[in-house]
A and B are shown apart, each in its own frame.
Chain A
């Protein structure tokens, strides 16, 4: 029986002409080797590329009454939870909020810096800066540090003269205007719930409940998200913190424990 050895054929060109050595084979059996400089490490690099970065869940969306912003509060260092009470919604000024995803120090520092720049703009121009302008300031700064290892995935949400505004800005230099965003490792789960329940004309309570549920579901499935789900609302008079609920308690609120009917009960046997 002739074995099918086509799988052993090498794609590489045959060296020399060892025709008298081989008979039926074109070359010594070999397998394809990737053309990289670092053979031992390239696989690790590939995995790192798709690794879920930015262990967090934040979301924001525009609706009829304004902007709803929500986030979890867990900070993880590898597998260790370093804090369950991180403020991921940063108050840039009384009418603008920023969300934090990625490096905590990077987000905190650059949001504080953005707040300073916004205030300077107000003093120089005698009017508040627009959300468009503020997000552009931040995006330009992050772009100038591109490639240096900053990790920032933020949403700038606010209310200015043109109404509610929402931008997504990240440390790769990207800046997107949009109506709905979710950022972080828990964002796929949050998007699932958010996209399903979203309508433009919702009331503030309905929107807050949608935001809260989206964060809750993300914390349920994503290990890197958890803690407290905070929900903020940005309206024409600025932002207001609506709720902050521990997600553990939210679970039992959404899925209360039903006392199950007892079929058989164990009884103590008297004596022995």
Chain B
């Protein structure tokens, strides 16, 4: 008698792609706004980006119900932190909190592929990339989601910096200026939506810099 398999899964994949690029004094975080299930589009105007703290923004693709629950959890913990420490959480601190939050559900994971972007304590851009159960790494740029296998090689080609593991620690942040990085992000999503059915409709681009957080949009293919 073979083991009975469940004919229901608690997970679903709502598709979409996210990208984040760190610069010397800014960070660009972008995601498309399409939410799908199977071959259907549920909506063309869903934001996958969430502001966690003053200088810290997260973009997540995967199962949006889990993403929403994760965002709520982080927002609640951030509020407690603010009450206890009388200040906002820094991006590196939020990065570790996210890692631990994901790992606490190691045996029933959040189906959420995240990139965290923002400014660190010195005002330099930083991007952290995660897997579904919380392993994380500080990088110069990252992409997650259904289009990531299309986007990452392109970003490697344009932005690849020497590995942070080489002994002479070099800056992982890109030498590009803010406008160039935004342009690159737009190009990358335009290409990804050509070949990935789950990426398209619109890009939401969030830029974090010393003056604050600003948001802009760009139209993409709707097919």
A24 contacts B by Cβ under 8 Å? no
Given contacts A87-B137, A105-B133, A108-B135, contact A227 B99 (CB under 8 A): no
Q: Is the CB of A105 within 8 A of B107?
A: no
Of chain B, the residue at the smallest CB distance from A89 is B165
Q: Chain A nearest CB: distance from B179 CB in Å? A: 27
In the complex, how many angstroms separate the beta carbon of A110 from the nearest chain B beta carbon?
9
Q: How far is the CB of A104 from chain B (nearest CB, A)?
A: 4
Classify the secondary structure of B's interface with A: loop
Q: Is the CB of A85 within 8 A of B164?
A: yes
A80 within 8 A of B: yes
Stretch at the interface among A45-53, A176-184, A199-207, A243-251: A243-251
Decide: A104 and B135 in contact? CB cutoff 8 A: yes
Q: Is the CB of A105 within 8 A of B106?
A: yes
Q: Are B2 and A38 in contact (CB under 8 A)?
A: yes
Q: How far is the CB of A53 from chain B (nearest CB, A)?
A: 16
Of A103, A150, A228, the residue contacting B165 (CB under 8 A) is A228
Q: Enumerate chain B residues within 8 angstroms of A37, measured Cβ to Cβ.
A: 1-2
Any B CB within 8 A of the CB of A193: no
Chain B nearest CB, measured from A213 CB (Å): 17
CB nearest to A41 among chain B residues: B2
Contact of A228 with B133 at beta-carbon distance under 8 Å, contacts A37-B1, A105-B102 already known: no
List, in ascending order, chain A residues with CB within 8 A of B129's CB. Answer: 83
- Chain B residues lying within 8 Å of A83, measured Cβ to Cβ, are 129, 137, 139
State which residues 61-88 of A face B: CB under 8 Å: 73, 77, 80, 82-87
Is B37 interfacial (CB 8 A cutoff)?
Answer: no
Q: Is the CB of B134 within 8 A of A108?
A: yes
Is B25 part of the contact surface with A, judged by Cβ < 8 Å?
no
B149 CB to closest chain A CB (Å) equals: 6
- What is the bound-complex CA distance between A82 and B165, given in angstroms? 16
B154 on the A face (CB < 8 A)? no
> Quick check: B163 and A244 within 8 Å, CB to CB?
yes
What residue in chain B is nearest A148 (Cβ atoms)? B107
**B residues less than 8 Å from A73 (CB atoms):** 163, 165
**Residues of chain A lying within 8 A (CB to CB) of residue B135:** 103-105, 107-109
Q: How far is the CA of A109 from the CA of B102 in the complex (A)?
A: 10
Q: Is B6 located at the chain interface by the 8 A CB criterion?
A: no
Task: Report whether A108 and B136 are in contact in the complex, using a CB–CB cutoff of 8 Å.
Answer: yes
Task: Specify which chain A residues have a CB less than 8 angstroms from the CB of B103 in the assembled complex.
Answer: 105, 109
Assembled-state Cα–Cα distance A85/B102 (Å) = 21
Tally of chain B residues near chain A (CB < 8 A): 22
| A241, CB-defined interface residue at 8 Å | yes
Considering the complex, which residues of chain B in the window 161-197 have a beta carbon less than 8 Å from any beta carbon of chain A? 163-167
0 or 1 for each of B58-94: is its CB under 8 Å from A? (1 = yes): 0000000000000000000000000000000000000
- In the assembled complex, the Cα of A109 lies from the Cα of B96 at a distance in Å of 10
B136: A residues at CB distance < 8 A: 108
Residue in B1, B129, B167 with the greatest tally of chain A CB atoms within 10 Å: B167
Determine whether A149 belongs to the interface, using a CB cutoff of 8 Å to chain B: yes
Q: Name the residue in B100, B103, B139 with the highest tally of chain A Cβ atoms < 10 Å from its Cβ.
A: B103
Residues of chain A within 8 A (CB-CB) of B133 are 103, 105-106
Please, which residues of chain A bring their CB within 8 A of the CB of B139? 83, 85
> What is the chain A residue whose CB lies nearest that of B100?
A109
Complex interface: chain A residues within 8 A of B149 (CB):
80
User: What 0/1 readout, one digit per residue, does chain B (1-38) give for beta carbons within 8 Å of chain A?
Assistant: 11000000000000000000000000000000000000
Q: What's the minimum C-beta distance from B196 to chain A, rounded to whole angstroms? A: 15
By a CB distance below 8 angstroms, the chain B residues around A109 are: 99-100, 103, 106, 134-135
Judge whether A104 and B131 touch: CB under 8 Å: yes
Other 14 A-B pairs with CB < 8 A, given A108-B134, A109-B106? A73-B163, A73-B165, A80-B149, A82-B131, A104-B131, A105-B133, A108-B99, A108-B136, A109-B135, A228-B163, A243-B167, A244-B163, A244-B165, A244-B166
